[in-house]
Amino acid sequence: MPLIHTLPPPSNAVPPYGPIDILPTAAFDSVPMTISYRFENLDKPAVILKPVTSIEPAQRVSWTLTGEKPSISFEAEGDHPDATYTLLMTDADAPTASNPKFAYWRHWIVPGLRPGAIGANAASNRAELTQYVLPGKKDEGVEAHRYMFILFREPPVDHSYHKAKRDPAKDEFEARRKFDAKAWIEESGLTRVGLVWFWGTA
């Protein structure tokens, strides 16, 4: 499993990017995973995101390349062959990195995922809990945001999390920006096993 790093500020940290309290403060192992934005329009290049390592730095991705829902791919954990997984996409720097009062803005939640080979789309046996919304428009010179795709192993099947369903009201703008990610993770009995993140730019 590749050693990946949590979200350090850039070397020229202006503004200072704050800590991510839903992730550990030290580097941790991630299951091999990719998040892929692909386009029918060949004028747009495919964006394939991987875990960030000491030799694989975080990518800078224009918000204009994130309009379509991406595909998810990840390998199984050897000691959890029957597990299902949930993917959370969130913005740690909403509305701005210098004033992230709406972190962690909820972009997407996909439960019931089953692993497969890297490059093959992960199948889900459940409906999305939060429908995908692309990163917000960024103008030139605006601070980059840290967008995170966090993969969690789901709790045992008798946990109430498996009965959770999408609430359309929670897809509204106001509800997305008031999302308490830390409480949701704890209440849902989720265990973090993977992370892919990128700098969202103009």
Listed ranges 44-53, 100-109, 110-119; the one with the highest mean pLDDT: 100-109
Reply yes or no on whether the pLDDT at 84 is more than 90: yes
What is the pTM for the complete model shown?
A: 0.93
Average pLDDT, the chain: 89
Q: How confident is the model at residue 141 (pLDDT cuts 50, 70, 90)?
A: confident
Domains belonging to the chain, first-starting first, are 3-9+24-201 (3.90.280.10)
Reply yes or no on whether the pLDDT at 2 is more than 90: no
Long-range contacts of 163-168 (CB under 8 A, 24+ apart): 164/111, 164/129, 164/188, 165/127, 165/129, 166/127, 166/128, 166/129, 166/130, 166/131
Q: What percent of the chain has pLDDT over 90?
A: 66
User: What is the structure's pLDDT at 19?
Assistant: 82
pLDDT in tens, 158-177: 999 999 999 999 999 999 99
Reply yes or no on whether the pLDDT at 24 is more than 90: no
